[in-house]
Structure 1
Amino acid sequence: MTNYKNKRFFLLFFILIVFSLFACYDLVNVLTFPNNVRVFENEKQPIDVNFPFKVSTLQEENEFLRIQENNYTTTYVNPIKKGKTNLELNFLGLIPIKKVTVNIMPKLKVIPGGQCIGVKLNTKGVLVVGTEDIKGIDGKKYNPSHEAGIAIGDTILEINGEKVKDSQHVISVINENKEKSLKLKVKRKNRTFKTSITPVQTYEEKDYKIGLWVRDKTAGVGTLTFYEPNSKVFGALGHAITDIDTGLLLTVEKGEVIKSKVASIKQGKRGKPGEIKGIFYDTNRPIGKLEYNTKFGIYGHLYKPMDNSIYSKPIEVAGQHEIKVGKATILTTIENSTVEEYDVYIEKVSKQRSCSTKGMVIKVTDKRLLKRTGGIVQGMSGSPIIQNGKLVGAITHVFVNDPTKGYGIFIEWMIDKAQIQQYESKLARRGCP
């Protein structure tokens, strides 16, 4: 009898331990839940909160959404109409843990892209991409940039209170001031600081230098992902434009999107990513203005609609909860300027609460595309991914060791970054952190 009681005690103790472990895991899950979420009108969506935690509305009769539970295993929010409301995450429906703001947006429709585009970007200030010692007029070595505390990756915004226009402007100011100390305003990551630097007259050329290599512009090709037909706001690439030397994100002072067509393709092979090489044309007539360069794509406004012979009418965007492992297609351009649709397979979908460029694993299955490119190549970034008639994401990266595979970003993150709030006609600011 005693043995039976001991067994029962240990069983209950074991169950309690297991329950506590799951409760602790779910508590972390609740505490790290986003403070703001976005859902689409009339589209039921699961909420990643499990028993013993519950989701409830703060109003008894909520006019914006309803909460539905499925045997304590899955909780859904059912948005009723456009607006903003609050939910509460609590323990057993009794102890409040966290409040979450829910933005209910109208269903969004966009025109999918696939066109090869040229991108020209001028940076804010000049980016420091290298430093060097200078041999002065006296034959000695000097390093003004080191003494001023300037490092590779810094951005010089101002010299002597004057906004820096480009690299030529920097050279001009240095040689005008000669050996006079210059006051610089410098940005390093998210902070700005001021410093002074004194130019040195060089032994060979007899001009003045500060020991810095700087860059003020870049250009390349990529793929348009979508544009919203009313506002003409576009998104492309699905990842950032970065400096080729430092790998840092380039900030936009001004930029343009111009027409481009495919000139040649270097096929992707194991260990050697392929590449699309494009040619810019009609450079005096840009097709759009580039306004933002983010970790999750580039964004701006088109001056006029872009033709897409495959999808001439807008299609719905899908939330990540709608995306399934299975067949899909991508739109991309691999010859001249013709957009074509190719078969792919979504092998993996990773749930995400915050922005990432790696939400899906995509495998190219289309024999035509594999024969021509070997799979995913540089320049295809931004190619829209379509599943069940909805835009679900965009190609972002290729697997170096398997060019038939790559990553895709969820389209909901790109929509957030595009800063389209009122989908019918006007723009407002919003986005993921």
Structure 2
Amino acid sequence: MDPSMVMAFGLVFCISCLILISTWRKSIGRIKLLPGPVPLPVIGNILQLDTKNIPKSLCMLAKVYGPVFTLYLGTEPILVLHGFEVMKEALTDHGEEFAGRGSFPIIDAINKGLGMPFDPKFILGCAPCNVICSIIFHKRFEYDDEKFLHLMELLDEKVKILSSPWTQVYNFFPTLVQYLPGSHRKLFKNCQMLHNFILEKVKEHQETLDPNNPQDLIDSFFIKMEQEKEKPQSEFTMENLVYTVSDIFGAGTTTTSTTLRYGLLLLLKYPEITDKIHEEIDRVIGQNRSPCLKDRNSMPYTDAVIHEIQRYIDLVPANLTHSVTRDTKFRQYLIPKGTTIIPLLTSVLYDDEEFPNPDRFDPGHFLDESGNFKKSDYFMPFSTGKRICVGEGLARMELFLFFTTILQNFTLKSPIDPKDIDTTPVASGFGKIPPSFKICFLPSQHM
């Protein structure tokens, strides 16, 4: 190679390194008063994290650096909140300042800133999905509908990829990784197909819209679009409608179905707990009517089991990221506006003082000495504060009705010995994914 070319490449390389180091030093200065592991130039703290289990890594770091510390994902500083007290103080007491939507690079890139033993995954995915379909489309689908099956496949694949180690790498280095091959490209493709499916349904609604008789979320959105059509900065646009519906599907379908699936796995693992639920169902509901929401107040043990399922599975361990809406004095630190926040739900759901032996699945965590249901401020699988999950009420209703209806009509049986059932998640990134398993639903035999 020509010596001048070598010199030119060397010069470009040196200048690039200087720019990167300068950016790194500048970013460190933004939150220099906060404790945390020393980051390396460009790559930050990625070498100190297990990308297969980020939440566990963050909990280990909190033992060293305390409940509020800084972590560098690439060159960007992230503020991590660990433990109930600091979470409550930030998300509730300082709710306004911590209410900003945090950065999740791969989602930002997608949304552009917008009888025989069988695996129950399919059936438990279809039912919650149809609940969301009825709210959004005013329609439910048959389980053999090809378009519905394709929708289910897209949603399932989306969660798998989001929970993979590769997605964590993307979120650390979005500017670099977006140009590389990897599973993120399949995610973008799948999400575009999901958006196309939604757009098709949206256009069908547009043709049949009756402004005086809205049937679902899409109709209501269209009416608001018409009301604000002359408003230049209106957020009620066709594009925002598609991304909003996509977000609702992602948040309202896979979270509930995964909780149901993980819950059934735990009930197979602990048949003595399942027997107690059967006894309570027989006593309170019986076999002559279907369960209803008012039954929950009379079923403390069942309610405690469902709460413990949500606590134990720790479905979205690192929460959805927040950001600080303005320069904020928090404890002894000054947090600059725009700082990304990770409110670590694991640190609250697995607090060993509030929940003794937190690694043990125990409904007693939510029962008092008399067997009555015991509330806990530490129960926050839906997060807390101003950015608490908007679908919490719907999810809580679904979980109670699905679990009680299944156990009212069926006895659960595992093809393998309960002692041999492994409940360890197969992925623990954005969300935790339970292992595949098979289950027998036998006609009810507990009366």
Fold agreement, TM-score > 0.5 = no
Which protein is richer in strand relative to its size? 1
TM-score, normalised to structure 2, is 0.23
Task: Report which structure shows greater RCO (CA 8 Å, sep ≥6).
Answer: 2
Which protein is richer in helix relative to its size? 2
